[in-house]
Structure formats: C-alpha cells, structure tokens
C-alpha cells in the first residue's frame, strides 16, 4: 500500500492529512502528486468525479510554498461557486499545519468588496470562477504575473458553460513560465483545444477509462407514458425508503414545478436552479448536507460543484440534452468507495437512447418496472419492521410510561394488536395506493435488448495496446475444441482490455477453458463484467479463414 509520505510530501502536509484521517492516496493522487512535485511540465489529468482530484493538485502545490513567500503563487479556476467554495475549504484544511499559507475564494453572487479586501491583504492561492476572476483582473485588483501554477479544474464543464472567452482572457494574463495543470472528468475536443493553445508538451495521465461511469454505480431505467412521469417518480421514491440524492430536470421551470409538487406530496425536497440567490442556495445546501433535505431537485448547471460523498441515488426525471452529461450526473453517487444507483424515467420514444449511453459509460442498464401500490406498501411495512427489530429496547427512555401502556394493551390479542398497529401506522399510505393502475408503458424489446438479456459480458486482459483485435478474439475461442459453437455478441476493444458478450449458458465454459492459458506470451485472465460491449451482430464462431471484417480503423466493433 502506497502512503502519502512515500509520494514525497513534507511533514507539515503529512501531519495535516493525518489529522483529517487520510490514510492512502487515491489512484489519481498517486499518479499526479509525484509528477507535480518533481516536474515543471504541464499536466492533463483525467479521472472521474469524486476521485480526489482536489488533493491531487492541491497537496503538491501546498508542499512547494515556502514560509517566507507572500506573493500570489497559484490560481485555481473551476466552473461553479459551490465547487470554488469546496476547493478553497479543502485546500485550507490540507494547509492547517502550514499556517503561513493563505487561500482566497472569489466567485459571483458574493460581495466583491470583501473579496477585493482579502486579495489586497495578500494571498498565496486564489480559487475562483472564470467570470469573477476576469472581473477582478479588469479592475486591476487581481494580478497574475507572479503565479507558478495555473489549475483548470473540471475544464470540460467550464467550456460547456460558455467560459471560453473568460478563460482565454485569464490565461493571457499569466506568465509563460507557469506550470499548467488541467484536471477533467472527460477529455473532450474543446479541452484538447485549450491544451494545444495554452499548454506545452503536456504529460497526459488517466485513471479509469475516459467517459466510463463510476465503478460502483448501477444504472436502471423505467418506461412510462409522458403523462405518468411524476406519478411514477412518487412510486419509485416510496419504494426506496431512505433515498438521499439529486433529481435532475432539464429546465429551471421544470425544476421548480417538480419540487413544488413533491413538497405538496410531503416529500423532503428543495429546488436548486439559476434563479435562486446565493444566500438561499447556501442555506439549501447546508440543509441538504445535514440530510434535513433528502432530495435535491436541480438542473445540470445548478448541480455542478455539489460535493456530497454519500448520495444513494441520482434520478433523471429527464435524460440530459447531451449524452456525455449523463456521466457527470451519475458520477454524483457511488463516491468514496460507496455504491450508488442512477435511475432514469423514460418514455417509450426515449428507450433507444439507452444503447448509446451504455456505450458511453461502458455499463449495462437494467430495465425495471414501476412498482404497484401493493408492492410499495409491503416494502415500506417490511422496512419499518426491520428498523423495529434492530432497535435496542434497553435504550428507550421514559420506561414508566411504556410499562403503563403495556399493561393497558394486555387485554388485546397479540395478533390483533399487530394488525391495529400496522394499520394505524400505514393507513394513509395504503389508502393512497388502493386500486392503483399499472403505470408501465408497453416496451418494444429490440433485438439488441434481447441479446443483452440472453448474453453475459466477459472481460479479457488484452486490448489494442497488446495488438489484440476482433480477429484474435475469434481465433482464440476457435482454437479450443471445447468452445466450438460459442456465439459471440457485442465486442469492445479497449486500450488495456476488451469486453465481449457470450451466451449465458456458455459463459462459465469460456472462463474455465481460457483462464490461465497463454496468448502472445502473456497469461490470459478472463472474468465476468458488468461493463458493456458495443459491436452489434451476433455470429457463430467459424474457422478464422471465414472471418471477414468490413470495417477497419475503428475503436469499437
């Protein structure tokens, strides 16, 4: 196990991390920290949301700021005020044992005079949103001539939000001797454009596959008619007691409307969108982090920068307009090694979008049926009874009152008492879901979807990097007499490994007969995977001479 000390950080930083309970670095931290400490070259780092990117760039920068340095040495740009506040707080915590380091956050929606005063008093690190930073530069309050490090955090989101002109203006004010560190969950064409324009021979590191969904997030979808979308949402929420998450809507108008309807139905929720003032927004987020609000209804823009590590669910009331945004949404859950669920409510016309999303995130979606009223009542009663079983009777206070009531209830038969108790507790719920109709829309099962149901995905430790291709895969399976006739479905050749689907009934045989054998002098490792393969067109294995590939130079088959 690698430790932070082994990465080359100084004792003050290490002691501060010990105080925070940080034990071992995440993969992106393990790769980025030593590089930034030892090299002056620029860096492009790709890692999924919630993998510890702030510490990956923050710790090595803090490590190199000396006690006698008073100048502004680093500027960190990020897309939203929430993320700006979060980053500045985290870096301040990391620097708790380095008292001489000063951090200032500058962002819109807050008093600019207080931010100007903080800058004039001197600071080593500025964390800011592009709009406010550009404004302070124009006012000649913020001067970047002395900075050594420029960090672009969530660069893809800043470009998506229309900050390119601000970024161009800000980067133009920075010295050419700076080290530029670009961190992003996805490396898009526009991000590469920024890299080409403002970075010099940058090293690129990546943790996980680009655009692939968080490892511990499962993906589910429900199909209903458009008029039943809200009723389906309520049933899903009622079937999942203890939900703590974000509900995504497309527009601020829809966000407010859905939040209001949920409040009227007695759900603990608030809306978060661009029309809400910073003061109210901060209060909402504080309540959400304290779990006084269990469900935050938000637009994509409003949710950017929200950093809550224990969300159980992300719910897509509508799918995002841009498919890549789904990765950002689902990445809000499943953080800090915890599992999470991403739920999408679709209409029949939207079902065909699932296949493309599966290819983007590298995982399968599971089709679920909207629960019926009886299912919801049973689930809630069962959940309540489990909580009762786990409650320690010894910890209950006011026992004198309870003993008095126990005596009064002795004349009621035990079974009748339980019936009365459950009925009284869940009467309102049972009345609400009495004689409910089926909300599930008719779902046309496509050939590809049937194949997904009949097949299972396997992962092999050979990819493009090893010269592995589709032809090699067919040849490998054909070479084993015990695997003749195995049908291969979808195939995805990745750089480090490949995913391919086979019939469920033959999956164990493929694993057993090929695992541990050799290919090109390397040991084969095959196991079952929940990641998705993307090549369509099932075919039965034939001798290699009959295999003809119609397309070349394609990353996905």
Secondary structure (H, E, C), 87-117: HHHHHHHHCCCCCCCCEEEECCCCCHHHHHH
pLDDT band at 37 (very low <50, low <70, confident <90, very high): very high
> Would the CA dihedral through 315, 318, 324, 325 be positive or negative?
negative
pLDDT band at 542 (very low <50, low <70, confident <90, very high): very low
> Does residue 452 have a pLDDT over 60?
no
Cα 104 to chain centroid distance, Å, stands at: 27
Average pLDDT over residues 115-125: 94
> Does residue 190 have a pLDDT over 90?
no
Q: How far apart are CA 454 and CA 487, in angstroms?
A: 11
The reply to whether 551 falls in a domain is no
> Does residue 543 have a pLDDT over 50?
no
pLDDT digit string, tens, across residues 239-270: 988 899 999 998 888 999 999 999 998 899 99
Q: Looking at the DSSP assignment, which residues form a beta bridge with residue 314?
A: 246, 342
pLDDT band at 531 (very low <50, low <70, confident <90, very high): low
pLDDT digit string, tens, across residues 44-103: 988 766 678 899 999 999 999 988 888 999 999 998 888 898 899 999 999 988 888 999
Helices (H) and strands (E) in the chain, counts: 21, 21
- The whole-number pLDDT of residue 535 equals 47
The reply to whether 554 falls in a domain is no
Q: How far apart are CA 390 and CA 387, in angstroms?
A: 5
> Does residue 553 have a pLDDT over 50?
no
pLDDT band at 548 (very low <50, low <70, confident <90, very high): very low
The reply to whether 441 falls in a domain is no
Could you give the residue ranges of the DSSP H alpha helices within 410-527?
Answer: 414-432, 447-454, 470-478, 504-514
Host H or E run for residue 500: strand 498-503
> Does residue 147 have a pLDDT over 50?
yes
Q: Kindly report the pTM of this predicted structure.
A: 0.59
> Does residue 424 have a pLDDT over 70?
yes
pLDDT band at 305 (very low <50, low <70, confident <90, very high): low
> Does residue 224 have a pLDDT over 90?
yes
> Would the CA dihedral through 467, 469, 471, 476 be positive or negative?
positive
> Does residue 168 have a pLDDT over 80?
yes
Task: Report which listed range, 156-165, 214-223, 410-419, is most confident.
Answer: 214-223
454 C-beta neighbours (distance < 10 Å), count: 14
Instruction: Specify whether 197 is located in the same domain as 307.
Output: no
pLDDT band at 451 (very low <50, low <70, confident <90, very high): low
Instruction: Specify whether 224 is located in the same domain as 200.
Output: no
Host H or E run for residue 28: helix 27-38
Instruction: Specify whether 460 is located in the same domain as 318.
Output: no
Instruction: Specify whether 201 is located in the same domain as 132.
Output: yes
Task: Report which listed range, 125-139, 204-218, 298-312, 439-453, is most confident.
Answer: 125-139
Instruction: Specify whether 162 is located in the same domain as 15.
Output: yes
The reply to whether 234 falls in a domain is yes
Average pLDDT over residues 406-418: 79
CB 528 within 8 A of CB 501: no
Instruction: Specify whether 73 is located in the same domain as 151.
Output: yes
> 541 versus 393: which is more confidently predicted?
393
Q: What proportion of the chain, given as a percentage, has pLDDT over 90?
A: 34
The reply to whether 553 falls in a domain is no
The single-letter DSSP state of residue 5 is G
Instruction: Specify whether 270 is located in the same domain as 196.
Output: no
pLDDT digit string, tens, across residues 313-326: 999 999 988 777 78
- The whole-number pLDDT of residue 214 equals 62
The residue among 432, 466, 481 that closes a domain is 432
> 188 versus 85: which is more confidently predicted?
85
Q: In this structure, what are the phi and psi dihedrals at residue 337, rounded to the nearest 5 degrees? A: 65, 15
Q: What is the extent of the structural domain holding 514?
A: 447-546
Mean pLDDT taken over the chain: 83
39 C-beta neighbours (distance < 10 Å), count: 11
> Does residue 395 have a pLDDT over 80?
no
CB 129 within 8 A of CB 77: yes
Instruction: Specify whether 280 is located in the same domain as 176.
Output: no
pLDDT band at 286 (very low <50, low <70, confident <90, very high): confident
CATH of residue 464: 3.30.70.330
pLDDT band at 380 (very low <50, low <70, confident <90, very high): confident
CB 260 within 8 A of CB 289: no
> 208 versus 123: which is more confidently predicted?
123
> Does residue 418 have a pLDDT over 60?
yes
The residue among 183, 206, 229 that closes a domain is 206
How many structural domains is the chain composed of? Answer: 4
> Does residue 540 have a pLDDT over 70?
no
Q: In this structure, what are the phi and psi dihedrals at residue 316, rounded to the nearest 5 degrees? A: -95, 100
**Lowest mean pLDDT segment, chosen from 121-130, 245-254, 400-409, 466-475:** 400-409
Angle between the N-to-C axes of helices 278-289 and 81-94, in degrees from 0 to 180, rounded to the nearest 10: 60
Q: In this structure, what are the phi and psi dihedrals at residue 449, rounded to the nearest 5 degrees? A: -70, -40
The reply to whether 556 falls in a domain is no
The reply to whether 552 falls in a domain is no
Host H or E run for residue 75: strand 74-77
The reply to whether 193 falls in a domain is yes
**Lowest mean pLDDT segment, chosen from 131-135, 190-194, 365-369:** 190-194
Per-position b or e across 77-109, b if 16+ CB within 10 A of its CB: bbbbbbbbbbbbebbbebbebbeebbbbbbbee
Average pLDDT over residues 23-28: 85
**Lowest mean pLDDT segment, chosen from 129-138, 261-270, 435-444:** 435-444
Per-position b or e across 456-486, b if 16+ CB within 10 A of its CB: bbbbbbbbeebebbbebbbebbbeeeebeeb
- The whole-number pLDDT of residue 73 equals 95
The residue among 206, 238, 267 that closes a domain is 206
Instruction: Specify whether 271 is located in the same domain as 356.
Output: yes
């Amino acid at each position: 196990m690698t430790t932070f000390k082994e990465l080359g950080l100084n004792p003050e930083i290490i002691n501060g991390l010990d105080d925070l309970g940080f034990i071992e670095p995440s993969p992106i931290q393990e790769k980025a920290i030593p590089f930034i400490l030892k090299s002056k070259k620029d860096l492009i780092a790709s890692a999924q949301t919630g993998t510890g990117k702030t510490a990956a760039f923050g710790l090595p920068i803090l490590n190199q700021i000396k006690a006698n340095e008073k100048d502004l040495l680093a500027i960190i740009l990020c897309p939203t005020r929430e993320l700006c506040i979060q980053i500045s707080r985290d870096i301040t915590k990391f620097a708790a044992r380095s008292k001489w380091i000063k951090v200032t956050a500058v962002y819109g929606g807050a008093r600019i005079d207080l931010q100007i005063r903080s800058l004039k008093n001197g600071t080593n690190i500025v964390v800011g949103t592009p709009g406010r930073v550009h404004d302070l530069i124009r006012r000649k309050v913020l001067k970047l001539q002395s900075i050594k490090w420029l960090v672009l955090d969530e660069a893809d989101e800043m470009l998506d939000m229309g900050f390119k002109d601000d970024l161009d203006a800000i980067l133009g004010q920075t010295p050419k001797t700076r080290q530029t560190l670009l961190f992003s969950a996805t490396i898009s064409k526009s991000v590469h454009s920024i890299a080409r324009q403002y970075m010099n021979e940058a090293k690129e590191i990546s943790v996980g596959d680009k655009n692939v969904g968080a490892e511990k997030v499962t993906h589910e979808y429900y199909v209903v008619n458009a008029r039943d979308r809200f009723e389906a949402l309520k049933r899903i929420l009622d079937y999942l007691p203890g939900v703590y998450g974000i509900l995504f809507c497309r527009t601020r108008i829809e966000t407010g409307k859905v939040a209001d309807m949920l409040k009227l139905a007695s759900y603990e929720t608030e809306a978060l969108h661009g029309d809400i003032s910073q003061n109210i927004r901060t209060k909402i987020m504080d309540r959400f982090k304290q779990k006084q609000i269990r469900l935050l209804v938000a637009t994509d823009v409003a949710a950017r920068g929200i950093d809550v590590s224990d969300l159980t669910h992300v719910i897509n009331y509508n799918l995002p307009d841009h498919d890549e945004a789904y990765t950002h949404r689902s990445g809000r859950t499943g953080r800090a090694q915890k599992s999470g669920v991403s739920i999408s409510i679709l209409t029949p016309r939207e079902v065909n979008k699932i296949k493309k999303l599966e290819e983007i995130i590298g995982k399968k979606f599971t089709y679920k049926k909207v629960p019926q009223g009886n299912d919801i009542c049973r689930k809630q009663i069962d959940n309540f009874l489990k909580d009762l079983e786990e409650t320690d009777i010894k910890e209950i206070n006011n026992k004198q009152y309870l003993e008095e009531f126990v005596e009064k209830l002795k004349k009621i038969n035990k079974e009748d008492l339980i019936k009365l108790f459950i009925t009284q507790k869940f009467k309102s719920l049972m009345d609400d879901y009495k004689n409910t109709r089926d909300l599930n829309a008719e779902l046309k099962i496509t050939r590809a979807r049937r194949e997904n149901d009949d097949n299972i995905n396997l992962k092999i430790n050979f990819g493009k990097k090893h010269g592995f291709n589709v032809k090699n895969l067919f040849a490998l399976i054909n070479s084993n007499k015990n695997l003749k006739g195995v049908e291969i479905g979808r195939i995805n050749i990745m750089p480090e490994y490949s995913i391919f689907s086979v019939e469920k009934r033959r999956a164990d045989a493929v694993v057993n007969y090929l695992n541990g054998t050799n290919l090109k002098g390397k040991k084969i490792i095959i196991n079952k995977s929940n990641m998705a393969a993307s090549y369509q067109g099932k075919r039965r294995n034939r001798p290699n001479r009959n295999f003809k590939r119609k397309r070349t130079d394609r990353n996905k088959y």
